[in-house]
Amino acid sequence: MKRPGRRLRLIAAAFLVLAAYPAFVLGTVYAHWFRMDFPGGRNGPSDAYRHSLASATVAYTTSPRLVALVTSVMEDDGQGNPMRAMDAHNNRIGAQIGATATSWNDMQGKVLHAVQSGTVDATSTDQITWLPQSWWRDRMY
């Protein structure tokens, strides 16, 4: 006979495992982000760094397909909204970096270099972008 608490413990264990991965991604991204001195916490280079690093981390540790799925849900692929379009653009670049990185340090270095080489309103599919400075906000929320 099955004990009634066993199913609940299995569900709780599954939830903890599923919650651990997003916590890992957010923890590693913010640990790096806080050490950077990029301006524009929202809509600027700092925002671009967060998005591209998070996407690179997910692609490196799982698959760029997961980044594409999350981007389509969270950013609506940027349709009609410049801020979401910027985020979706940078997510795709981050996913490509993560998918091709040879190591954890390689991935982080490539993201940093990509953001340092980024620009306002980049149209190239391989260049990090952000919005004009008049759109920047110091806070990320």
Domain boundaries, the chain: 4-135
For residue range 24-81, list pLDDT tens digits in order: 999 999 999 999 989 998 999 999 999 999 999 999 999 999 999 999 988 876 677 9
- The band of 118, judged by pLDDT with boundaries at 50, 70 and 90, is very high
Write the secondary structure of 8-47 as one string of H (helix), E (strand) and C (coil): HHHHHHHHHHHHHHHHHHHHHHHHHHCCCCCCCCECCHHH
Using a 10 angstrom Cβ sphere, with 0-12 exposed, 13-18 middle and 19 or more buried, the burial of residue 116 is exposed
Q: What is the pLDDT of residue 14?
A: 84
* Contact between 52 and 139 (Cβ < 8 Å): no
Q: What is the pLDDT of residue 103?
A: 98
C-alpha to C-alpha distance for 103 and 120, rounded to whole angstroms: 29
* Contact between 26 and 112 (Cβ < 8 Å): no
Q: What is the pLDDT of residue 64?
A: 96
Q: What is the pLDDT of residue 77?
A: 63
